[in-house]
Structure 1
Amino acid sequence: MLNQFSRTQLLLGKDGIERLQSARVAVFGIGGVGGYVCEALVRSGVSRFDLIDDDKVCLTNLNRQIIATRKTVGKYKAEVMRDRILEINPDAVVNIHKCFVLPENIDDFPFAEYDHVVDTVDTVSAKLALVTKCQSMGVPVISCMGAGNKLDGSQFRVADIYDTKVCPLARVMRYECRKRGVKSLKVVYSEEKPTRPLEDMSISCRTHCICQPGTKHKCTERRDIPGSVAFVPSVAGLLIAGEVVKDLISSPKNKEKKTYER
């Protein structure tokens, strides 16, 4: 019977679509990259999501984040993404966690129930907590490296963390993963040398903060505020979603999961 996934089924087959629909994917960070991950996954057939983000949509997000519109400014990103997912697939099951993942709360999430984890968070400590937790639980994870201060989306690559180059964040992650005995980690990274943002204080979040009252993690707390454009983080998000889909339809564990309770 013709349905919204019929065109995808022509490529992945009925069995592939069923595996995607039965899979549960956790996306940590619903921003410029994570939003496009969710967008592509739900349009591909993934029907069970955990969305983790404590941030709210800011006016400065409109330049790159798929969930950011004038109507959504000030709303929690996880809630906005949930509503968007349900508009695309009303049968989807979406759990939201309005919090920031930290080493201290990593055990609060049901990793044993996840078929795949996506890391698009900003901080190294959170990334390392996610990676080590997933690997200890045997859960597939893919991690996004730096997408800010870049202009060429064609230079993104999919690789093991130990095969990366150029990206400053990947360099730090290589070092920290090696210290923790992480033998392998699939990442999306860019080989473009980052540009230095213009020091224009008239448009700086550091001196003209417009975050909503009650915002927990403001740009003013960051050491550097990266520049961004619409056509770079979106590419990283779509590449990550493609890897997740391919992993899910080829996973022996997922082949056994044909149905689930809503």
Structure 2
Amino acid sequence: MEKYQRIDALSRTQLLFGESKMKRINNVKVIIFGIGGVGSWCAESLIRSGVRHLTIVDGDKVCVSNINRQRMATIHSIGMAKVDEMKKILLSLSPDAEIMAINEVYCAETANQFRLEEYDYIIDAIDSLDDKALLIENATNTNAKLFSSMGAALKIDPTKVKVAEFWKVTGCPLARALRQKFKRNGIKPKRKFLCVYSEERLKNCSIEQSESKDNHKANGSLMHITAIFGLTIAGLILKNLYEDI
């Protein structure tokens, strides 16, 4: 009965993709780094679309300020590991999916723990500049397809969200900082990769801004923008699977 229920749940996806492409979706291996406002919605979209092998990586716990935009954040999950709470949600959608939740930050000290070459798709939804640059460098050294989220904060207009190759992203301070870092260090990603971004940049209105864990000022952000970023990345993966088969 459970098998038929799963097939039923994915019937609308299979109508669009067909049986052979649906098998490909079921079998791909995806890893998402950063399960926040972008990564959490990306993860849900992939699981709802039939992805069954998903690894989610994040070292943070849910806090009150996450509730306005992150899928797993509720008053009941405050203080819990984001990946553990997200895994519960994903398994409630697809009980037979293989979800690996890694409560860890991707950084220079932990990078060797991750076998990026084992994945078909790598999703970068990391906030930290140094960690993001490291993941991009390492991911483009594999055969996996990389999709990256640029800065999703300080935005409100959904019509301004775009997709472009990393070196062609315009008007995004995070993309600019990444490119400067690569050039300064004499490093260049080995392959081209697509990014989701927006040129819109509003200003924080509050006089007092809360500090983030890395002592940088937090910026205002909204669910409809961060979710669009995450859903767009999921869409790029599904588009790639549809066109490649």
Q: TM-score, normalised by structure 1?
A: 0.86
Q: Which residue of 1 aligns with 2:240?
A: 247
Instruction: Return the alpha-carbon distance in structure 2 between the equivalents of residues 226 and 6 of structure 1.
Output: 40
Query: Is the 8 Å Cα contact of residues 137 and 188 (structure 2) preserved in structure 1?
Result: no
Q: Which residue of 2 aligns with 1:61?
A: 66
Shift of 1:249: 4.1
Please list every run of 5 or more consecutive structure 2 residues that lacks an aligned counterpart in the other structure: none
Are 2:195 and 1:187 aligned? yes
Query: Is the 8 Å Cα contact of residues 148 and 196 (structure 2) preserved in structure 1?
Result: yes
Instruction: Return the alpha-carbon distance in structure 2 between the equivalents of residues 246 and 133 of structure 1.
Output: 24
Please list every run of 5 or more consecutive structure 1 residues that lacks an aligned counterpart in the other structure: 207-218, 256-262
Q: Letter of the 1:30 partner, please give it.
A: I
Shift of 1:126: 1.1
Q: Which residue of 1 aligns with 2:19?
A: 14
Q: Letter of the 2:188 partner, please give it.
A: G
Shift of 1:147: 0.3
Q: Which residue of 2 aligns with 1:32?
A: 37
Shift of 1:106: 1.2
Match of 1:81 among 75, 86, 89: 86
Instruction: Return the alpha-carbon distance in structure 2 between the equivalents of residues 129 and 95 of structure 1.
Output: 22
Are 2:203 and 1:196 aligned? yes
Match of 1:92 among 97, 122, 140: 97
Query: Is the 8 Å Cα contact of residues 116 and 139 (structure 2) preserved in structure 1?
Result: yes
Shift of 1:176: 3.3
String of CA shifts for 1:56-108, please: whole Å, max 9, x gaps: 11111111111111111111000011111100000100111111100232121
Q: Which aligned pairs between 1:1-262 and structure 2 lie closer than 5 A?
A: 3-178=8-183, 179-182=186-189, 183-192=191-200, 194-201=201-208, 204-206=209-211, 219=212, 221-251=214-244
- Give percent identity, aligned residues only: 32
Aligned residues: 237
Q: Letter of the 1:196 partner, please give it.
A: K
Shift of 1:177: 4.1
SS in 2 for 1:49: strand
Q: Letter of the 1:96 partner, please give it.
A: A
SS in 2 for 1:224: coil
Instruction: Return the alpha-carbon distance in structure 1 between the equivalents of residues 26 and 213 of structure 2.
Output: 40
SS in 1 for 2:164: strand
